Chains A and B, each alone.
Chain A
Amino acid sequence: MTATDLGLPRIGGLDLVPTTDEPQKAKEYKSDQEVRWCPGCGDYVVLNTIQSFLPTLGLKRENIVFISGIGCSSRFPYYMNTYGMHSIHGRAPAIATGLATTRPDLSVWVVTGDGDALSIGGNHLIHSLRRNVNLKILLFNNRIYGLTKGQYSPTSDQGMVTKSTPMGSVDTPFNPVSLALGAEASFVGRALDSDKKGLTEVLTAAAQHRGSALVEIYQNCPIFNDGAFDVLKDSDEAQRRLIPLRAGEPIRFGPEGEYGVGRGGWGGLEVGKVSEIGEENVVVHDPTIADTAYAFALSRLGDQSLNHTPTGIFRQVSRPTYDDQARAQVEQAAQAKTPDLQALLRGKDTWTVA
């Protein structure tokens, strides 16, 4: 049996969400709840960035929903003056899928962490990305369990000594961007908690994207894994490690832009000196390439040590979303057959007792 072509128009991520002409301020997005993350937590910066960025979308505030799982970052919805649900561990993408599928007029955001999204909720994460439900998933990655007070997470370094690994963790960590791409995610981005501009750019594009968007946010936990991303925040180190991805531009980095990404290696891409690669051979970033292999190769340029860390948008491709198609089937069915409950209950074979 072949699928029906539902002939859906290609639309933006927010096209069905009502907008307002009233100017909005970040303040309006703050709830009356006292924020209770630890002093110095990276979550504060992310919260501020999101509260500043949301007004730029011009959406009706009541049509924005934040759904979270369990963990430090999952307290997020309580601090947002939007609709919100703080759900259960790992299940936010599933709950958000039901909401987004029934309510195309909402901008639905999932806030999750490395334990919530990649460990207990790993199954829901990959399947929501595969289905391409119109959800924006913000994965706060601090490489540790914070709320349960310091056990290693699925993104912790191998050998890391934590409360649950006194002799060092023997687990191999996930690369969340690689995982998302392996799950056919149509939008994958990465940003640093402290990089307000970079994070805002990625979030804006994610919001406008129709389908699932995964944004990995490197987030510092000052209590249980302090400084995990310091090498990306030290200006000298950062210049040698961070690889900013900008669509349409050659991928170059380094204090003088002396490094670049060229073609080669098993994955198809490798880091080298521009002088050796040749200026004309530096790869020009194109997040719309359909084959996930390109974005995947970008995600593998560096490793867990953050030696080469691309940030920005790895992949941004347009493909039909689960929820648009599911709703279109409902509409198509209703057009093909007027709903008639009495006729349904009667069915085809009846008999009458007089």
Chain B
Amino acid sequence: MSTSANGSGTGALSATRPTEVSQLDRVVIRFAGDSGDGMQLTGDRFTSEAAAFGNDLATLPNYPAEIRAPQGTIPGVSSFQVHFADYDILTPGDRPDVLVAMNPAALKANLADVPNGGTIIVNTDEFTKRNLSKVGYGSDPLEDDSLSAYEVHRVAMSTLTQGALADTGLGKKDAERCKNMFALGLLSWMYHRPTEGTERFLREKFAKKPDIAEANVLAFRAGWNYGETTEAFGTTFEVAPAKLARGTYRQITGNTALAYGIVAAGQRSGLPVLLGTYPITPASDVLHELSKHKNFGILTFQAEDEIAGIGAALGASYGGALGVTSTSGPGIALKSETIGLGVMTELPLLVIDVQRGGPSTGLPTKTEQADLLQAMFGRNSESPVPIVAPCTPADCFDIALEATRIALTYRTPVLLLSDGAIANGSEPWLIPDVESLPDLRVTFASEPNAPDGSGEFWPYVRDPETLAREWAVPGTPGLQHRIGGLEKADGKGNISYDPDNHDHMVRLRQRKIDNIDVPDVEVDDPSGGRARVLALGWGSSFGPIGAACRRVRKNGMPIAQAHLRHLNPFPKNLGEVLAAYDTVVVPEMNLGQLATLLRAKYLADIKSYTKIAGLPFKAEELENVFTDIIRDKEVVA
């Protein structure tokens, strides 16, 4: 794709460039402003432009839990970071090369992350005495020399936007609200981004308010033209398309991929889907997305509470549908008893936990991976459930299908642990061919199965290989039976208080889960086996761990990386893998939950590295951790 022309559809935006063009392999931009400034939309649009251009990319939205925190304050700052490159990247980037700060609060909240020499573009109109004092600036940082380490561009975005919209008849306030599109236009110019998509998007988004649509387009173009015509910006930058694997791509967020995975699971299993759920951040988008796809036979039930959400899902599964419930950590706490009922009645059920900071209400909009032990043990008594976790936003699609496979094959609730970073983050997704997706068809029981030849139906007769019981749905003649939360006699399924039967059933339920067939964990070690240190992770830390490993290797030190998508049961080869390295380091956004499980199961000497800051690991941080470990190792050796 040529970057010198800007496409014929944007005539107004294709002037000559008097600027110098610099080639970069990767750039990290952070858009930051007040939560009412539309930074999420701005970042999202810039991301779409990068995707349309063919860059690899990763994003990190970061916003407050309050819908509108007090304007102009630090708690009200919302930001969106996008990392785009001409090669395959793994993370949204540690530090922004460019910070767009729409007000003093955004500057103050984000400045520490900008490396020396970084570019800062500020909206000077918001740097008023009042706004400065709101965030504790004694003097204007744009006037003193506190920003001398950075390349600062002062742009009166509000004034320029209002000026550009002066003839539209739009009120001053409405016009000013388009300043985020001005910023987007300016950045799109700086980075030679295609613009048709954004203009089309704005016209669609505001289809019912054409004057607002045109105002946003005008502001967007004004931002572009500002870059083009003023001499404030001497250099523009090009980031060439990435050389990704062949195929057709789209940009996708984790929650959307998860919803699509559920749609696909319904289609590939041939079962109707019922999502029983209750709104909770950051899982609600799964409900929003699925509710748009009723044409695929998907019922979305917004229940009165978390418990009713999972109850309805289990009721649907009992009736032969694919029951799904989605929530975040606090919701799992409420659903625990029903998960236990699913374990006892041995019915398929998909339980999605998009983890967030905790405990209690915690940090609703921030990420964490501290629900692993809750997923593993958070029910009364011995109540084993399989656990899977996606490692990237796009992986949410595959993991939803994998969770469904396990639930349907083994007739069990399955816990799927996503997290806030994966849910809201986005990346390019190589669109799969539907025919290549796993076949998830199931067979319902249709005949009496009593091994004693009595012609009765016994609900707890099992498949000898999977140990799954038969799925006999109401409406099937002759198979009437009763199930429930009370302990059942193996086979016959009547209530049983027999001590030996209970011991047998507890062990059997555990064995069923332990024996689930999961793929081996793969180890990435480009050194060909010279690495003595293994970095092992799970969930959304895949990106930062991988990026850190690349840096360590670039510095000439070998390190192996492995990532777990199956957390219960663990892959069969995991013990061998752990034993093969002198040191296994497990970075987690919790206090060492996976490390605890590994130590308990494998008696392995795990080095746990933890951070619970509500934000993903930075590659640089893990690079230092890994390097230190390897160097210690060398000293010891």
Partner-B contacts on A (CB < 8 A): 31, 33, 60-63, 65, 67, 70, 77-78, 80-88, 91, 93-103, 105-106, 123-124, 127, 326-327, 329-330, 332-334, 336-339, 341-342, 344-347, 349-354
**Does B484 contact A91, Cβ atoms closer than 8 Å?**
no
**Does A94 contact B303, Cβ atoms closer than 8 Å?**
yes
Q: Which residues of B contact A81 (CB under 8 A)?
A: 480
**Does B294 contact A334, Cβ atoms closer than 8 Å?**
yes
Bound-state Cα–Cα, A261 to B434, Å? 67
Q: Which residues of A contact B301 (CB under 8 A)?
A: 97-98, 101, 326
Residue in A closest to B479 when the chains form the complex, CB atoms: A62
A-B contact pairs, 5 of them (CB 8 A): A85-B482, A94-B315, A342-B433, A351-B51, A353-B244
Q: Which residues of A contact B53 (CB under 8 A)?
A: 351
Which has the most chain A C-beta neighbours within 10 Å: B272, B301, B309, B434? B301
Interface residues of B in 396-451 (CB under 8 A from A): 431-434
**Does B54 contact A351, Cβ atoms closer than 8 Å?**
yes
Total interface residues in chain B, CB < 8 Å: 74
- A83-B474, A87-B484, A352-B248 known; A94+B307 contact, CB < 8 A: yes
**Does A97 contact B197, Cβ atoms closer than 8 Å?**
no
Stretch among B106-114, B260-268, B501-509 lining the A interface: B260-268
- A82-B480, A339-B296, A341-B296 known; A94+B263 contact, CB < 8 A: no
- A78-B482, A349-B52 known; A91+B307 contact, CB < 8 A: yes
Stretch among B62-70, B317-325, B382-390 lining the A interface: B317-325
Bound-state Cα–Cα, A324 to B71, Å? 46
Q: Which residues of B contact A345 (CB under 8 A)?
A: 260, 264, 431-432, 434
**Does A88 contact B341, Cβ atoms closer than 8 Å?**
yes
Beyond the given pairs A124-B308, A330-B299, A354-B246, 16 more chain A to chain B contacts, judged by CB atoms under 8 angstroms and listed by A's residue number, are A62-B479, A78-B484, A94-B276, A94-B303, A97-B315, A98-B276, A102-B320, A103-B319, A106-B474, A124-B307, A330-B297, A339-B296, A344-B260, A347-B250, A351-B53, A353-B245
Q: Which residues of A contact B474 (CB under 8 A)?
A: 62-63, 65, 83, 99, 103, 106
**Does A342 contact B434, Cβ atoms closer than 8 Å?**
yes
Bound-state Cα–Cα, A148 to B486, Å? 15
**Does A85 contact B484, Cβ atoms closer than 8 Å?**
yes
* B435 CB → nearest A CB, Å: 9
**Does B249 contact A351, Cβ atoms closer than 8 Å?**
yes
Q: Which residues of B contact A60 (CB under 8 A)?
A: 475, 477
Which has the most chain B C-beta neighbours within 10 Å: A31, A86, A102, A338? A102
Interface residues of B in 108-152 (CB under 8 A from A): none
- A86-B485, A127-B304, A326-B299 known; A102+B321 contact, CB < 8 A: yes
Which of B241, B312, B478 meets A101, CB within 8 Å? Answer: B312
Q: Which residues of A contact B479 (CB under 8 A)?
A: 62
**Does A62 contact B477, Cβ atoms closer than 8 Å?**
yes
**Does A102 contact B299, Cβ atoms closer than 8 Å?**
yes
Q: Which residues of B contact A337 (CB under 8 A)?
A: 295
Per-position 1/0 for B194-217, Cβ under 8 A of A = 000100000000000000000000
**Does B297 contact A334, Cβ atoms closer than 8 Å?**
yes
**Does A99 contact B483, Cβ atoms closer than 8 Å?**
no
